[in-house]
Amino acid sequence: MKIMFNGYLGILALLIAPMAAAQMNSADLYAARSSFHSSGCSSCHTAADSAAGPSLQAIAKRYKGKAVVAELADRIRSGSQGRWGDLPHPAIDYLSQSEAILMAKWILGGAR
Residue among 31 and 44 whose Cβ is closer to ligand HEC:
44
Q: How far is the CB of 33 from ligand HEC (least distance, A)?
A: 11
* DSSP three-state, residue 80: strand
Residue among 6 and 43 whose Cβ is closer to ligand HEC:
43
Q: How far is the CB of 21 from ligand HEC (least distance, A)?
A: 13
Which of 13, 97, 80 has the alpha carbon at shortest distance from 44? 80
Binding site for ligand HEC (CB under 6 A): 36, 39-41, 43-45, 52-54, 59, 72, 75-76, 80-85, 87-90, 92, 95, 103-104, 107
Which of 110, 99, 48, 40 has the alpha carbon at shortest distance from 74? 99
Q: How far is the CB of 49 from ligand HEC (least distance, A)?
A: 13
Residue among 10 and 93 whose Cβ is closer to ligand HEC:
93
Written as one letter, the residue type at 88 is: P
Q: How far is the CB of 12 from ligand HEC (least distance, A)?
A: 27
The DSSP annotation for 45-98 comes to B-SSSBSSS--HHHHHHHTTT---HHHHHHHHHH-B-SSSSSSPBPP-TTS-HH
